[in-house]
């Protein structure tokens, strides 16, 4: 096993087999790459010498073999290993992973792009620029820091930003607004109601996932689809969310929530509750490739996040920089094609990865404070 901590904030895993087949995965929690790296190294003691094709058994041992289980770092380590094992299995059988999971149920995949950053300003120009490239759906951070009860001035700023996109493009551009868990229940109700007239594609993480019980109240203030799940790490966490019935779209992350194996099960659970899936993926090319493989064979996926040009990638690298053939993720008319190559369907530039790993990174999210000095959610 080889691990590469590469800019801007990613961790790549390479698993080599004695038959000469190599699999790649992306095990990372943003801001804690070094901790996940250690967790992967800990699992390697169990995995070395095992049959890589026994993916489900290895998943069960990694998850259930310790007395304590779950959590973002451990589940992200399992996720990256799982991706790499599926990549190996696909290459062994000379088939895309989706063929081993039931085969394609779609011909192409809709994607959305990010607009603006942590402190969104001129999102109108960003939306126009993306629309010119063929993008038909965007997501933006809704707010900056917001206190438990905050000013209506901040609410109006969010409304004005969304309105600027609608005024420029009408309904030719679908819009998702990410509350990013920055908004507490009281203000989330207000914001959801105020954004109702703009007919959004969804509002995301209106409250932190630890406060999902608040979705009941928030849903009563809007008909806009509610999305959440990027900070939920197993089917057991999603179980109660789905049973409560106040979510419309779940967003598990294939580099956080146990990998391809686990998210396939989570998506199947969601289908039984008539809930859509839009996998979370503001990450690198391996994570996106894993998502696309899952999306290809999962009927309730309706759109895929991807990080081309995302604000997090401004320093050091972007999504396509580590690929031999960057065209595999080129989108047109708001869609990308389903790759037909074996395994994850991508070829990584190992020379570039090794070179970038020498630079490395120690990315951390910022620490924000409210106007009165109290800690704010980023």
Residue position matching structure tokens 């085969």: 103
Other CB atoms within 10 A of residue 272 CB: 9
Phi, psi of 326 (to 5 degrees): -70, -15
Looking at the DSSP assignment, which residues form a beta bridge with residue 259?
A: none
Give me the helices (H) in the chain, please: 33-47, 55-64, 72-92, 97-100, 123-132, 152-169, 185-195, 215-219, 235-244, 259-272, 285-296, 350-359
One-character DSSP codes across 251-312: --BTTTSSHHHHHHHHHHHHHHTT-EE--B--S-HHHHHHHHHHHHT-TTB--EE--TT-GG
pLDDT value at position 330? Answer: 85
Q: Are 310 and 284 spatial neighbours (Cβ–Cβ below 8 Å)?
A: no
Q: Are 319 and 307 spatial neighbours (Cβ–Cβ below 8 Å)?
A: yes
Q: Are 7 and 339 spatial neighbours (Cβ–Cβ below 8 Å)?
A: no
SS3 3: strand
pLDDT value at position 317? Answer: 78
The question of whether 58 is a catalytic residue gets the answer no
Q: How far, in Å, CA of 51 to CA of 211, rounded?
A: 41
Q: How far, in Å, CA of 318 to CA of 111, rounded?
A: 17
How many angstroms from the chain centroid is the CA of residue 48? 29
pLDDT value at position 372? Answer: 96
**Both tokens of residue 104?**
């394609």
The question of whether 180 is a catalytic residue gets the answer yes
pLDDT value at position 315? Answer: 64
Q: Are 85 and 108 spatial neighbours (Cβ–Cβ below 8 Å)?
A: no
b/e sequence 102-124, b meaning 16+ C-beta within 10 Å: eeeebeebbbbbbbbeeebeebb
Rg (CA), the chain: 20
SS3 156: helix
Q: For residue 197, which of 149, 158, 244 has the smallest C-alpha distance? A: 158
Contacts of residue 376, defined as CB under 8 A and 6 or more positions apart, other chains included, come to 145, 146, 147, 182, 368, 369, 370
Looking at the DSSP assignment, which residues form a beta bridge with residue 276?
A: 249
pLDDT value at position 310? Answer: 82
pLDDT value at position 308? Answer: 86
pLDDT value at position 139? Answer: 96
SS3 146: coil
Q: Which of 58, 184, 256, 280 is catalytic?
A: 280
**Both tokens of residue 66?**
């310790």
Q: Are 239 and 245 spatial neighbours (Cβ–Cβ below 8 Å)?
A: no
**Ramachandran class of 199: left when φ > 0, alpha when ψ lies in -120 to 50, beta otherwise:** left
Q: Which of 58, 180, 256, 361 is catalytic?
A: 180
pLDDT along the chain (378 residues), means of 10: 96 97 97 97 96 98 94 97 98 98 97 82 88 94 93 94 94 96 96 97 96 95 97 97 97 98 98 98 97 98 92 78 92 92 97 96 94 95
CA terminus-to-terminus distance, the chain: 34
Q: How far, in Å, CA of 311 to CA of 184, rounded?
A: 24
Residue position matching structure tokens 């994570």: 287
Contacts of residue 180, defined as CB under 8 A and 6 or more positions apart, other chains included, come to 141, 142, 143, 204, 205, 377, 378
């Amino acid at each position: 096993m080889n691990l590469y901590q590469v800019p801007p904030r990613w961790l790549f895993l390479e698993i080599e087999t004695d038959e000469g087949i190599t699999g790649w995965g992306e095990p990372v929690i943003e801001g804690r790459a070094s901790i996940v790296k250690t967790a992967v190294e800990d699992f390697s003691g169990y995995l070395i010498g095992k049959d890589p094709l026994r993916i489900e058994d290895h998943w069960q041992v990694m998850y259930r073999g310790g007395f304590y289980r779950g959590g973002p770092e451990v589940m992200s380590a399992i996720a990256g290993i799982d991706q790499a094992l599926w990549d190996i299995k696909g290459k062994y059988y000379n088939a895309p992973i989706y063929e081993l999971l039931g085969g394609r149920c779609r011909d192409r995949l809709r994607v959305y792009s990010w607009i603006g950053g942590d402190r969104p300003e001129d999102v109108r120009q960003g939306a126009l620029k993306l629309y010119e490239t063929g993008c038909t759906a965007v997501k933006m951070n809704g707010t900056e820091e917001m206190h438990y009860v905050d000013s209506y001035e901040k609410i109006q700023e969010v409304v004005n930003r969304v309105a600027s996109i609608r005024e420029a493009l009408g309904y030719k551009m679908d819009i998702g607004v990410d509350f990013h868990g920055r908004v507490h229940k009281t203000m989330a109700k207000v914001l959801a109601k105020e954004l109702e007239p703009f007919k959004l594609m969804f509002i995301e993480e209106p409250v932190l996932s630890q406060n999902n019980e608040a979705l009941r109240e928030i849903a009563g203030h809007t008909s806009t689809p509610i999305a959440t799940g990027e900070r939920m790490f197993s089917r057991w966490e999603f179980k109660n969310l789905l049973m409560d019935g106040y979510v419309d779209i779940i967003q598990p992350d294939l580099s956080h929530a146990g990998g391809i194996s686990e998210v396939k099960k989570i998506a199947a659970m969601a289908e039984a509750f008539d809930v859509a899936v839009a996998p979370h993926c503001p990450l690198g090319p391996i994570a996106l490739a894993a998502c696309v493989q899952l999306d290809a064979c999962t009927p309730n996926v309706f759109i895929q996040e991807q990080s081309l040009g995302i604000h997090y990638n401004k320093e050091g690298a972007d999504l396509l920089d580590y690929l031999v053939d960057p065209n595999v993720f080129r989108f047109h008319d708001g869609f990308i094609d389903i790759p037909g190559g074996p395994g994850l369907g991508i070829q990584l530039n190992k020379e570039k990865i090794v070179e970038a790993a020498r630079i490395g990174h120690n990315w951390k999210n910022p620490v924000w404070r409210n106007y009165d000095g109290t800690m704010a959610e980023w």
